[in-house]
A and B are shown apart, each in its own frame.
Chain A
Amino acid sequence: MKNEGEAAKRPDNTAFTQQRLPAWQPILSAGIVIPGFLLIGLAFIGIGIGLFLTSQTIQVWEMDYTGVEKDSPCFRCTILSNQNCTCEVTFSLSTLFTGPVFFYYGLSNYYQNFRKYGVSKDYYQLAGDTGYFKSPEADCAPYAYDSKKNPIVPCGAIANSIFNDTFELYQIINGTKKQVPLDGKGISWWTDYNIKYRNPSPVNGSFAKSFDGTVKPINWPKPAYELDLIDPNNNGFLNQDFLVWMRRAALPQFRKLYRRITDGDYAAGLPAGNYSLKVHYNYPVLSFDGRKKVVFSNVSWMGGKNDFLGIAYLVVGSLCVVMSVVMLVVYAKFKFSDDDDA
């Protein structure tokens, strides 16, 4: 009875057009939610216990060496006129500090996440493009040119403000100092070191020549091509300390990896005993009420020590379990009253 024209005008009788697509209609019924909550809760408690215990096993030793108090060893270095000041912090470990030990420095009230600070760098310079050496990115101002209008390489506030305290660690054995070897390799992201940052190609075989016509950042004691004269793979923009510094911290209180203790006698960790940390105190922080500290820590599969995660898992896990019990009670109660009604 239907001819062609009729069929053309008649709406398509497909599941989609008729809004009758087969659909799964999940219902969050108590029967699913209560056991679900219980399971999730138990799993979370399990993870939480694991995290918490792991976090507890991590050893951390940290020490503020800013030198605010008069009796602190580095107090004399806080006077600005005191150039090339060194101070010594001594401490003792009562047990073995299991290795590998990670050596961090920490700063607080230091805003690496200032917006203007954050953009104050020239990625093209840092990728080794000498074309940008002569004309640094405008965002680098006021760290783009020195007072004689010479372009600064690497330009910008981040590079200029690189953390330049250096540390030497000694174990004191019977009154003699034994230097603990610090490993500066592998402290920055692999991709930063291998891909993102590039040194300019040497000119006439000389790395320094490629920096011709540029000046070092104002605060730097030496130019970028002299950051590590011993290891050419740790020199220039590929200097690990530089790379670590260039990855901006998220919060005004942060720590950054300085060295690892993995070599020689200390591969298994720092044995119990007395230690002395010699600080080459260069970095001023008191002008903005900042603090500096050093942190020794070992890490687990979850990273550094962080109790928050374990506690959070325990709390949420127990919350889920409690909820499931409450729901069970509520459900049972109203189920009964339903039956009464019926």
Chain B
Amino acid sequence: IRLMYYEKRVDSRTIYVGHRPCPDTEAFIPSKFCDNRIVSSKYTVWNFLPKNLFEQFRRIANFYFLIIFLVQVIVDTPTSPVTSGLPLFFVITVTAIKQGYEDWLRHKADNEVNKYPVTVLEDGRSVKKESEKIKVGDVVEVVEDETFPCDLILLQSSREDGTCFVTTASLDGESNHKTHYTVPDTEKDLQALPATIECEQPQPDLYKHYLAFLSLGPENLLLKGATLKNTKKIYGVAVYTGMETKMALNYQGKSQKRSAVEKSINAFLLVYLCILISKAVVCTTLKYVWQSKEGQDEPWYNQKTQKEKDTNMYLKMFTDFLSFMVLFNFIIPVSMYVTVEMQKFLGSFFITWDKDFFDPEIQEGALVNTSDLNEELGQVEYVFTDKTGTLTQNNMEFIECCIDGFQYKHRDTRSELDGFTVTDGPVNKLQQKKEELFLRALCLCHTVQVKEAGSEVLADQVDGIDGLLLPQPEEERGFIASSPDEIALVRGAMEYGFTFLGLESKSMKIKNRENNIEEYKLLHVLNFDPVRRRMSVIVQTKSGETLLFCKGADSSIFPRVRPEEVDRIRMHVERNATEGYRTLCVAYKQLSAEEYAVADTGLREARLALQDREQKLMAMYNQVETGMSLIGATAVEDRLQEEAAETMEALQGAGMKVWVLTGDKMETAKSTCYACRLFQRGTELLELTVRTLEDGRLKREEKLLELLRDYHRRAVQDAPPVKAGVTRSWSTANQDYGFIIDGATLSLVMNPPREADASQYRSLFLQICQNCTAVLCCRMAPLQKAQIVKMVKNSKGSPITLSIGDGANDVSMILEAHVGIGIKGKEGRQAVRNSDYAIPKLKHLKKLLLAHGHLYYVRIAHLVQYFFYKNLCFILPQFLYQFFCGYSQQPLYDAAYLTMYNICFTSMPILAYSLLEQHISMEILLDNAALYREIANNAMLRWRPFLYWTVLGIFQGLLFFFGVRFLFSNPALQDNGQVFGNWSYGTIVFTVLVFTVTLKLALDTRHWTWINHFVIWGSLAFYVFFSFFWGGIIWPFLKQQRLYFVFANMLSSVSAWLVIIILILLSLLPEILLVVLRKPRGPHSRQVYLFLPFPF
């Protein structure tokens, strides 16, 4: 048989099951499909070196160092190529090793998958193969608890009903068991099954299933990576293999986010590049001016070679310029990049390790997906949060329902088990019927599964499951569903006496109040989607009636039911919504045989469509879900997350603006906002919703503009000017504004009918929003969430945004914002996978931002400034020395010092500082949210602090050089009358330099752990030790033993000691003075500001 026949299409593939040609198709053409190898690795052994090197040198900094290195090799330059080659080599090697290691891990993981043994049916025999050898068309056997080696079409299952259970936990984190079905009508004899399958070319959407056949749908497809559960064995035919599987297509790197700090680094780099170039230009110019004086250019004691004399003057100038560049190039340090990378990488472990982020409930802590953004956590200005599952627990509790206008309270079910039947309102026969219909609807209209694991070992006998489950206490019944609302509803119905027993072979069983089992044949599930905001099922009762049950948001149900029914229910729904409950309306309709037949064919056709399936399905759904009658509404409480209000308050106190973006109803969302204290009693709400736009006289656009102007006047113009630097005044004197907008209005604002208004609308809207303490956007589609984030992100001053969410609908905004935070909630793992950081609970956000973010920012900002500073005062003396050596590019320091300065002598203390520093302890940071404002707007990396550090570097550089210069006015510094030479000069300057920059860091360190002590004093000791060692031996590989005993001789001179001491002290004196004098004097500020070491 053939499973299907379709016209051949370009974008489809034909698969021959078991590689047997089909009798009635044309010639058997084995098509070329890729093999089942998963390759996530980037390199092979052979191309690793060239490819990795190429990638590394594409980075602008590395390329710059490579150029410098090449100049040193080619041109006759003052320092040997080793001085810049060695650090570059070090950096490149470390990076290559790191990337190589990561790639090796990927290779290992790939191999594990690729070499996994699988069983393939070949010519009637089971053959063990390695997973990578599976070809498209192979029939593969998978046993329980194994993962599928490739995307398979389920042909045969060991279960009698032709189903199998699958968990996709490793794909999307949803741990529920999903039911998949075998292809109907396949013969039991797989060995001789001649069939072809035609299906779409692979596409990556995990949730959009494509297979289009006569009767094949997503329920027939088993995805690679998913695990077989509760089923002994299945056979399936491979349709997509290797890199074409859904999992592989979904495996792709996320776009790189760059942090604000990196932008600052690049700006500073430019400044230093300018300094470098101008230094080189100054020196080159002065050199030629100086040389023009007679006798200076070529004194008799230093004559030029013939070649030098012959060289073109301009060429000489150019090489001189290059030489100066090389001499001063250390001002832009290679090692800064390494240190910054290391700091970020190692620093991010502190988030993962933090036990405060560990949630005992899910047994997980925080997760760091990227370490590039650590410091960005300390710079957040806007927080966009999802409501459901983020602000609220997504732990639904059935609160009450309303059937046909009568309200049924249902709280604390344990105490009043039968509180349902008589609450208020008359109980008559009709009412009774409605009630039962409503409860049946709740029991049937969902996609909940009964968890079998809870029913002990006996439940493994799948057939007997019903009988075994019955005597179980009802509380123990476990349900699994993609949405917790559904579970709450099913549980709610259970409390009222209607228990859902499970779905078995397309028939749903429920136990009614009389403990009778009712059975319904599940004909169709019209899945939930966020656009329709409702879902339906079509079932057939025992008696042959076909019923459609639909549940969904009020706004999506009300237009589809008879209007006269709406009013009675609407009142309840709105009241529930204001109380912060999530409401759903339930409707039903009875389908006549003809109606059903139409719907059935329509749905089937839509499902099989190869093109525009989504739209076709949607249209069909909309067509079926009409003319229903409303039965009732439910109210489910979604409790707030632990400490949601405290967290929000802390964020606002820290100067962040919190925007709630939710798909929920305005009333519900508003009540949540009040509950989280985003809106307070005094907050004046500015509402911009469909309702406020309804105005008899004016058109919607006009009304919108009028409202926008009005709100703008109130919130922006009349508001007292906000002091610069303080984003939100915390005195109560100011009127707080809250802004509410819904999705429909937002799209009107963003895309007004007349394009000309767009910018005006937007700027008004943005200005209003920026002056409000909290903004609530409700009824948002996922893409609109991202749109809002993007709008704020690109607004004036480009504020740093953070998005936090837990569900698939938040992914777009998580990806859009500067920092995306995923909550390890109950709605799968999509948000977590796409986030930059994932935390188990909302309350962890407070510590993540206020403590970790703050510290990371301070650390890295200090790291960056310090690096520039220490290289400035490193190179400045070398620059000044040019004025005293006839601009001959004579290095002041020995090559070893030039090379080691950044690698060994001064790198470790700053790394330790940037990992461990806590200038303010975490507790104080958490208690005083306002401290977060101290570092707002990239405060430590603005031009002012940069200027401060630069001036400090210049001051110290001048001091080092001229201090020693004056000492050397008489170079007889030893008590035996002997004189010191140029290398002694350089070594004294270098010693002062190393000690000063290290002690400067020591002064800045506010948190001295033993590691800091070890590294700071260790570095200094290492410098001394190294200098002795380096100067203590005649190194056979050195052409010149420049430093031989220079250091030891230096230490034998009392004058050298004294000058070193006084220069160090003098360099640090201004710093000490500033620290002491900058201390604010107010008694309140003292405890807080006392610890701030930064003088600005």
A143 to chain B, nearest CB (A): 8
Interface status of A27 (Cβ within 8 A of chain B) = yes
Interface status of B922 (Cβ within 8 A of chain A) = yes
* Separation of A338 and B1087 alpha carbons in the complex (Å): 13
* Separation of A116 and B298 alpha carbons in the complex (Å): 11
Contact indicator A327/B1076 (Cβ below 8 Å): yes
Interface status of B563 (Cβ within 8 A of chain A) = no
A208 to chain B, nearest CB (A): 26
B547 to chain A, nearest CB (A): 46
Contact indicator B890/A118 (Cβ below 8 Å): yes
| List of A residues within 8 angstroms of B304 by Cβ | 142
Interface status of B1072 (Cβ within 8 A of chain A) = yes
Contact residues of B between 994 and 1009, Cβ < 8 Å to A:
1003, 1006-1009
- Of A5, A249, A304, the residue contacting B981 (CB under 8 A) is A249
| List of A residues within 8 angstroms of B354 by Cβ | 11, 17-19
Interface status of B976 (Cβ within 8 A of chain A) = yes
A249 to chain B, nearest CB (A): 6
Contact indicator B1058/A302 (Cβ below 8 Å): yes
Contact indicator B1055/A123 (Cβ below 8 Å): no
- Of B890, B979, B1044, B1055, the residue contacting A191 (CB under 8 A) is B1044
* Separation of A323 and B977 alpha carbons in the complex (Å): 37
Contact indicator A299/B1039 (Cβ below 8 Å): no
B948 to chain A, nearest CB (A): 18
Closest residue of chain A to B302 (Cβ to Cβ) is: A117
Closest residue of chain A to B301 (Cβ to Cβ) is: A161
Contact indicator A299/B979 (Cβ below 8 Å): no
* Separation of A160 and B306 alpha carbons in the complex (Å): 18
B774 to chain A, nearest CB (A): 32
Mask, A46-65, CB within 8 Å of B = 1, is 01000100000000000000
Closest residue of chain A to B76 (Cβ to Cβ) is: A116
- Of A19, A51, A299, the residue contacting B972 (CB under 8 A) is A299
Interface status of B567 (Cβ within 8 A of chain A) = no
- Of A111, A123, A160, the residue contacting B1040 (CB under 8 A) is A123
Contact residues of A between 106 and 133, Cβ < 8 Å to B:
110-121, 123, 127
- Of A33, A250, A313, the residue contacting B1058 (CB under 8 A) is A313
Q: Assuming the A-B contacts A254-B971, A288-B296, A299-B976, are A114 and B884 also in contact, with contact meaning beta carbons closer than 8 angstroms in the complex?
A: no
- Of A33, A309, A338, the residue contacting B1055 (CB under 8 A) is A309
Interface status of B973 (Cβ within 8 A of chain A) = yes
Q: Assuming the A-B contacts A137-B1039, A250-B981, are A304 and B355 also in contact, with contact meaning beta carbons closer than 8 angstroms in the complex?
A: no
Chain A interface: which of B474-482, B581-589, B961-969?
B961-969
Closest residue of chain B to A313 (Cβ to Cβ) is: B1062
Closest residue of chain B to A14 (Cβ to Cβ) is: B353
Contact indicator A118/B982 (Cβ below 8 Å): yes
Chain A interface: which of B243-251, B518-526, B815-823, B1077-1085?
B1077-1085
Interface status of B918 (Cβ within 8 A of chain A) = yes
| List of A residues within 8 angstroms of B763 by Cβ | none
A212 to chain B, nearest CB (A): 25
Interface status of B425 (Cβ within 8 A of chain A) = no
Q: Assuming the A-B contacts A141-B305, A303-B973, A338-B1083, are A288 and B295 also in contact, with contact meaning beta carbons closer than 8 angstroms in the complex?
A: yes
Contact indicator B1055/A306 (Cβ below 8 Å): yes
Contact residues of B between 320 and 377, Cβ < 8 Å to A:
349-350, 352-355, 357-358, 363-365
Contact indicator A330/B1077 (Cβ below 8 Å): yes
Interface status of B189 (Cβ within 8 A of chain A) = no
Contact indicator A334/B972 (Cβ below 8 Å): no
* Separation of A309 and B1056 alpha carbons in the complex (Å): 10
Contact indicator A111/B1055 (Cβ below 8 Å): no
Interface status of A21 (Cβ within 8 A of chain B) = yes
Chain B interface: which of A69-77, A86-94, A167-175, A182-190?
A182-190
Closest residue of chain B to A32 (Cβ to Cβ) is: B1076
Q: Assuming the A-B contacts A142-B304, A309-B1059, are A255 and B1040 also in contact, with contact meaning beta carbons closer than 8 angstroms in the complex?
A: no
- Of B364, B978, B1003, B1072, the residue contacting A189 (CB under 8 A) is B978
Mask, A205-236, CB within 8 Å of B = 1, is 00000000000000000000000000000000
Contact indicator B1007/A284 (Cβ below 8 Å): no
Q: Assuming the A-B contacts A119-B1040, A255-B971, are A23 and B1009 also in contact, with contact meaning beta carbons closer than 8 angstroms in the complex?
A: yes
* Separation of A313 and B977 alpha carbons in the complex (Å): 22
B1088 to chain A, nearest CB (A): 13
| List of A residues within 8 angstroms of B1012 by Cβ | 23
Contact residues of B between 1009 and 1053, Cβ < 8 Å to A:
1009-1012, 1034, 1038-1041, 1044-1045, 1049, 1053
A44 to chain B, nearest CB (A): 7
| List of B residues within 8 angstroms of A255 by Cβ | 970-972, 979
Interface status of B303 (Cβ within 8 A of chain A) = yes
* Separation of A191 and B349 alpha carbons in the complex (Å): 51
| List of A residues within 8 angstroms of B977 by Cβ | 100, 102, 187, 257, 260, 297, 299, 303-304
Contact indicator A196/B1044 (Cβ below 8 Å): yes
* Separation of A233 and B426 alpha carbons in the complex (Å): 128
Contact indicator B1006/A25 (Cβ below 8 Å): yes
* Separation of A27 and B1091 alpha carbons in the complex (Å): 7
Contact indicator A115/B1055 (Cβ below 8 Å): no
Max chain A CB contacts within 10 Å: which of B969, B970, B1012?
B970
**What is the predominant secondary structure among interface residues of chain B facing chain A?**
loop
Closest residue of chain B to A284 (Cβ to Cβ) is: B300
Interface status of B980 (Cβ within 8 A of chain A) = yes
- Of B984, B1059, B1090, the residue contacting A250 (CB under 8 A) is B984
| List of B residues within 8 angstroms of A26 by Cβ | 1006, 1008
Mask, A171-204, CB within 8 Å of B = 1, is 0000000000000001111011001100000000
Interface status of A251 (Cβ within 8 A of chain B) = yes
B968 to chain A, nearest CB (A): 5
Q: Assuming the A-B contacts A111-B888, A303-B1055, are A33 and B1076 also in contact, with contact meaning beta carbons closer than 8 angstroms in the complex?
A: yes
Contact indicator B1081/A13 (Cβ below 8 Å): no
Interface status of A248 (Cβ within 8 A of chain B) = yes
Contact indicator A247/B981 (Cβ below 8 Å): yes
Contact indicator A303/B974 (Cβ below 8 Å): yes
Contact indicator A341/B1054 (Cβ below 8 Å): no
Closest residue of chain B to A120 (Cβ to Cβ) is: B302
Interface status of B1065 (Cβ within 8 A of chain A) = yes
Interface status of A268 (Cβ within 8 A of chain B) = no
Contact indicator B302/A111 (Cβ below 8 Å): yes
| List of A residues within 8 angstroms of B352 by Cβ | 11
Max chain B CB contacts within 10 Å: which of A116, A187, A253?
A116
Interface status of A10 (Cβ within 8 A of chain B) = yes
Q: Assuming the A-B contacts A21-B1009, A21-B1010, are A123 and B300 also in contact, with contact meaning beta carbons closer than 8 angstroms in the complex?
A: no
| List of B residues within 8 angstroms of A123 by Cβ | 1038-1041
Interface status of A104 (Cβ within 8 A of chain B) = yes
| List of B residues within 8 angstroms of A254 by Cβ | 971, 979
- Of A11, A113, A251, A312, the residue contacting B365 (CB under 8 A) is A11
Contact indicator A257/B978 (Cβ below 8 Å): yes
Interface status of A264 (Cβ within 8 A of chain B) = no
Interface status of B1066 (Cβ within 8 A of chain A) = yes
- Of B350, B978, B982, the residue contacting A187 (CB under 8 A) is B978
Interface status of B783 (Cβ within 8 A of chain A) = no
Interface status of A85 (Cβ within 8 A of chain B) = no
Contact indicator A11/B353 (Cβ below 8 Å): yes
* Separation of A256 and B968 alpha carbons in the complex (Å): 12
Contact indicator B1083/A111 (Cβ below 8 Å): no
* Separation of A26 and B977 alpha carbons in the complex (Å): 44
Q: Assuming the A-B contacts A23-B918, A117-B301, A251-B965, are A111 and B1076 also in contact, with contact meaning beta carbons closer than 8 angstroms in the complex?
A: no
Interface status of B1075 (Cβ within 8 A of chain A) = yes
Closest residue of chain B to A333 (Cβ to Cβ) is: B1081
* Separation of A305 and B963 alpha carbons in the complex (Å): 16
* Separation of A25 and B1009 alpha carbons in the complex (Å): 9
Knowing that A17-B354, A247-B979, A303-B1054 are A-B contacts, what are 20 other residue pairs whose CB atoms are under 8 Å apart, sorted by A's residue number?
A6-B363, A17-B355, A25-B1007, A113-B982, A115-B889, A116-B888, A120-B302, A123-B1040, A142-B304, A157-B301, A157-B303, A191-B1045, A195-B1034, A252-B886, A253-B969, A284-B300, A287-B295, A303-B974, A306-B967, A316-B1066
Interface pairs A-B: 6 shortest CB-CB: A161-B301, A304-B972, A250-B985, A288-B295, A17-B353, A21-B1009
